[in-house]
Amino acid sequence: MLHFKQLHNIAFFLFFSIAAAYAMEKDSLIRVQDSIAELFRIDEVMVVARQEKDVMPPQLLKGEQMKALSTTSVADAVRYFSGVQIKDYGGVGGMKTVDVRSMGSHHLGVFYDGIEIGNAQNGTVDLGKFSMDNLEEIALYNGQKSEIFQPAKDFGSAGTLYLKTRRPKFERVENGGEAYIKPYNIEIRMKAGAFGLANPSLLYEQRITENIHLSLNAEYTFATGRYHYHYEKRLADGSIAWDTTAVRQNGDVQAFRAEAGFFGYSQTGKWHLKGYYYQSGRGIPGAIVNNVWKNAQRQWDRNAFVQGNYTTEITDKLSLQANIKYSNDYLRYLNPDTTLMYVDNQFLQQELYASIAGRYRIFPFWDVALAADYQLNWLDGNMQQFVHPLRHTLLVSAATAVSYRWLKLQASVLETFVSDTLRACATAFFDKRAETYNAITPAIFFNAKPILSEEWYVRAFYKMIYRMPTFSDLYYTDIGSSNLQPEKTRQCDVGTEYSRLFSPRNSKIGSLKGIRLGAKADVYFNQVENKIVAIPKGNSQYRWMMMNLGYVEILGAEIATDISLLFPHEHTLTLHGSYTWQQALDRTDPQDNDPYGGTYGGQIAYIPRHSFSITATYQWKERLYLAYALCYVGERYTSSANIPANHVQPWYTSDISLSYTWLLPSSRKGEKIRLQAGIEANNILNQQYEVIPNYPMPGFNGKGILKLSL
Amino acid sequence: MTHINRLHSELFKWAFLPTLLLLALSACRHPEVVEQEDLTFAHGLFILNEGNMGSNKASIDFYDPVTDTLYRNIYPTVNPTVMKELGDVGNDIAIYGGKMYAVINVSGKVEIMDLQARRISSVDIPNCRSICFADGYAYVSSYAGPVEINPDYQQRGYVAKIDTVSLCIVDTCHVGYQPNGLVSDGSNLYVANSGGYMYPNYDSTLSVISLSDFCETKRIPIAVNLDQIVYDANRNTLYVRSQGDYYTQPEILYELNLLTEEVKPMPVAFKRMHLLGDKLYGYTGIGKNWQMGYLDLSSFSFTAIPLENQSELQTPYALFITDNDLYLTDARDYVTPGVLYRYNLSGQLLSKQRTGDIPAHFCMKK
């Protein structure tokens, strides 16, 4: 018995060391120092971890860092990543979309537990709707995930965001001489605070058998969405020209989310089955313009999907995976204000998705992979003269990866075939507009380690990808434009990364137990041709006016650094800073270049030249967290005519969060009950700012959190 | 204790940096300042820029043809203390009795200014569209439906009557669905009902309102989706534009004889039109094949005016004709500043000026 336990401990120890080292290797940007104990094992397992190094490492947020930061939605969390711009319409229920490296939010593929969240209707995913409650990792990849064994869809976006929900982990409990694995986990959490927020959630995890685990999670969000905002303008002499303070109206939201997941493991593979349900009703607060201080529009959503993944190793050379998904998304938009156009639109979009992928290991250093995906989307709506579009998408990818000592190479090609049919045509007018579309697009990734003994990497990638206009781009009857071309993006990136660990053997670090330094830099050049630009059509944020803006050139640079300081007695301080410089220029019409409103050479809408973020996290054991986060977005313009009338002020917010965990005795010996209490204070400088003009953002706000883990 | 002290000093050292940075940052954000300038507008053209919906960028520009100068966005310059400037989506502008009236659609108001664009007052009319004047009153069409509980609710529009002395609404009169343009012949008001919210079942009537009792006396059927009306006093005729249904029914310009109430289609379908004497100016066509010209109303013959730089214009929009000049705006992509082109009547380019977003309506200060 004792023998087994020792063995088990050693195995556990090894597993976690490797996992920790792997994590340290992988998350170059937001580096998580799990605990001091692991620090000393890193050197020993480096060699093992090196195998798994990503060709293009993602920006990661997970673990302690994620726990410490004050975030409610995924959109709040990803703003700390470099190269990312958030379009935020404000408040708890306001829409939040993400734009990576100025290519536009449509180019970001969002994957939830491995399968993409589709939106054939308008192509963007509202990240404000995705809660952080059940997530354990957010990873953002430029280009694509550095993995060849994946569905063809994973190759299909210019940037990809992977949201990974918490996988059940069951603690080993030692009770006197007995040891067992605790069969369940329960977490009860309550958040409450500004905007009338009440946000309870419940998590239950069960170890059904050794190899099958179940996770159930439910969350409810209620908020009045009311907050004060302040506008003012001054005269040249500094006196106030006008100012006003008002309360944001019609920003209330009620949302319910439930998820169930089965996780299965076997000798040769694993499977995952998941069901997701989300339902919400909200007000659309709308633009604050002269003489309009509130709006009456409402929106209801219901999103449900089931998805499954099965991955298996057929032989030691051949692996296969299959993915399948059905999703059903309902949207109702109501404008009850009869002084405006009365609108009560309902849409139901459905998606069926199936994918099969295989990888073959030709030599230990050389893999090839093939994947084929089929997807069917159809959209129904009650709009007048609605055409009920249906889209078949077929994606086939072939990829190869070479990994030899200091060199890693990956190359992939993706063939996309899209065919639309319109199931109802009131007039012959739309008949002609059903689109078909076919393209082959390549991507190539490279990573080298010039000095084998140093954690220094040099990398580069090139990727070309199209995005098809969405249903709303193409087939909405009252707006939208015909003759829309697919958007084409090309990305070139060259970057480098360095990390180093100073251990206590090094006397220069004084009383510190260790310092970990990491830095990375990237320079990139992106081109977007036939860029489709969405201009919000007034008060309804889900309807847009579409246009092909033409041609945009983006030159950018990103720098990120991480410092982890390990103090004695398990105190840790982690500093993360990232800075992004972007020059995203409208290169459409060389004639249109006068200084009073010309667009040629102007920075495109909503892209700041400078933006940066800083986070500082102080941690004691896994008990006390104190975090400070600063997010700065420089001045922007609302159109590529960079004139004063289109200028938008820079904004920056400072957030502070503090949490402490008490370990309470449990009636079962050896088990622990954790009670965590936290407070978050956001926008502590009470800055009155706007991300999108006329959509005022909240000033100082705070909330409290209580979490009980059984 | 020493290690605690040392710990504190280490922590402090590392926490000091962000604090410093934050202080430096506070300098980056300056208060927003309204530019003030002493401007006087002699005579020339006021241009109302629509601005995209939700952008609050309705603006007024002034073009002085003598000095060939365009003053951009004059409203906040002249009225720096008006909260949130002129408003959202400018829909019409006109001068009457020494005052200028700007109809601001989403802001739901008619802004009343003097002829130096200084604010006098404003009148709230939700979803207001167009304005015309007769006998000391301003008449404003509005899409805003009456509030009533009715399962078959339909949004009829109305016309508001504003006393131009007291600047108050004195009466309203319900008309057809989504009324756009309106004109007066001195005894009646004619309102073009579009039914734009009712598609595909557009309205196709012209409402006639008697000015004496301000009641709708009849509806004259014309064609679907009516838009602009021009009154020709010499011929006692209205020229009414039907926008068609965008699918099968084309746009057609109709002539309505007010005496006989006879409706006849005209040989050309102008998108925007401006009457000067015997000539009805306008442009026709779509895409790159649009054409500027005028219709001689005595012979009904169309004469094209070839514009010097026609291919440069992306989205021809508003039109204004004076005795010597032809003004045409280009709304471009609707989200970037438009352009005002000034030609002589034979199409020779005299001036090109950048305006606000979507330059859409003109009025002349004589």
pLDDT in tens, A247-305: 999 999 999 999 999 999 998 899 999 999 999 999 999 999 999 999 999 999 999 99
Indicate the range of A96-105, A472-481, B87-96 predicted with least confidence.
A472-481
ipTM of this complex = 0.92
- Supply the pLDDT for residue A478: 47
d(CA A308, CA A353): 10
DSSP 3-state assignment of A227? coil
Question: Tell me: the pLDDT tens digits for B315-324?
Answer: 899 999 999 9
- What confidence category does residue A42 fall into, taking pLDDT thresholds of 50, 70 and 90? very low
Residues on chain B touching A429 (C-beta within 8 angstroms) = 247-248
DSSP 3-state assignment of A2? helix
Does A291 contact B57 at a Cβ distance shorter than 8 Å? no
Tell me, yes or no, if A547 comes closer than 8 A to chain B by beta carbon: yes
- For residue A15, give the H/E element and its range: helix A2-26
- Mean pLDDT, range A654-679, rounded to an integer: 90
Measured in angstroms, the CA of A287 and the nearest CA of chain B are apart by 6
Number of alpha carbons in the 13 Å side-chain half-sphere of residue A19: 9
Does B18 contact A567 at a Cβ distance shorter than 8 Å? no
Mean pLDDT of chain B: 91
- Supply the pLDDT for residue B28: 67
Which domains are assigned to chain B? 8-264 (2.130.10.10)
Tell me, yes or no, if A267 comes closer than 8 A to chain B by beta carbon: no
A348-362, A413-427, A428-442, B32-46: range with highest mean pLDDT? A348-362
- Supply the pLDDT for residue A66: 83
Does B54 contact A538 at a Cβ distance shorter than 8 Å? yes
Partner B, chain A 559-618, Cβ-Cβ below 8 Å = 563, 565, 567-569, 571, 573, 575, 591-592, 594, 596-599, 605, 614, 616, 618
Question: Tell me: the pLDDT tens digits for B275-292?
Answer: 999 999 999 987 678 999
Measured in angstroms, the CA of B144 and the nearest CA of chain A are apart by 4
- Mean pLDDT, range B339-349, rounded to an integer: 97
Indicate the range of A443-447, B6-10, B65-69, B247-251 predicted with least confidence.
B6-10
- Supply the pLDDT for residue A136: 92
Whether CATH 3.30.2130.30 fits A4-709: no
Question: Tell me: the pLDDT tens digits for A109-156?
Answer: 999 999 999 888 878 899 988 888 889 999 999 999 989 999 999 999
Residues on chain A touching B195 (C-beta within 8 angstroms) = none
- What confidence category does residue A2 fall into, taking pLDDT thresholds of 50, 70 and 90? very low
Token pair belonging to B103: 């109809």
Pick the more confident residue, B48 or A147: B48
- Mean pLDDT, range B229-243, rounded to an integer: 96
- The reported pTM is 0.90
Sequence ranges of the domains in chain A:
4-709
- What confidence category does residue A158 fall into, taking pLDDT thresholds of 50, 70 and 90? very high
Count CB pairs under 8 A between chains A and B: 205
Tell me, yes or no, if B309 comes closer than 8 A to chain A by beta carbon: no
Asked whether residue A405 carries a pLDDT value surpassing 50, the answer given is: yes
Number of alpha carbons in the 13 Å side-chain half-sphere of residue A703: 20
Pick the more confident residue, A174 or A58: A58
- Mean pLDDT, range B120-126, rounded to an integer: 97
Tell me, yes or no, if A372 comes closer than 8 A to chain B by beta carbon: no
Measured in angstroms, the CA of A310 and the nearest CA of chain B are apart by 46
**Chain B residue with the nearest C-alpha to that of A232:** B32
- Mean pLDDT, range A544-557, rounded to an integer: 80
- Supply the pLDDT for residue A53: 66
- Supply the pLDDT for residue A43: 32
Indicate the range of A645-654, A693-702, B8-17, B229-238 predicted with least confidence.
B8-17
Tell me, yes or no, if B174 comes closer than 8 A to chain A by beta carbon: no
Q: Which of A231, A288, A339 to mutate to test the interface with B (most CBs of B within 10 A)?
A: A339
Q: Kindly state the percentage of chain A with pLDDT values over 90.
A: 66
- Mean pLDDT, range A582-605, rounded to an integer: 93
Mean pLDDT of chain A: 86
- What confidence category does residue A520 fall into, taking pLDDT thresholds of 50, 70 and 90? very high
Does A645 contact B86 at a Cβ distance shorter than 8 Å? no
Indicate the range of A404-408, A479-483, A669-673, A679-683 predicted with least confidence.
A479-483
- Supply the pLDDT for residue A16: 38
Indicate the range of A25-34, A237-246, A594-603 predicted with least confidence.
A25-34
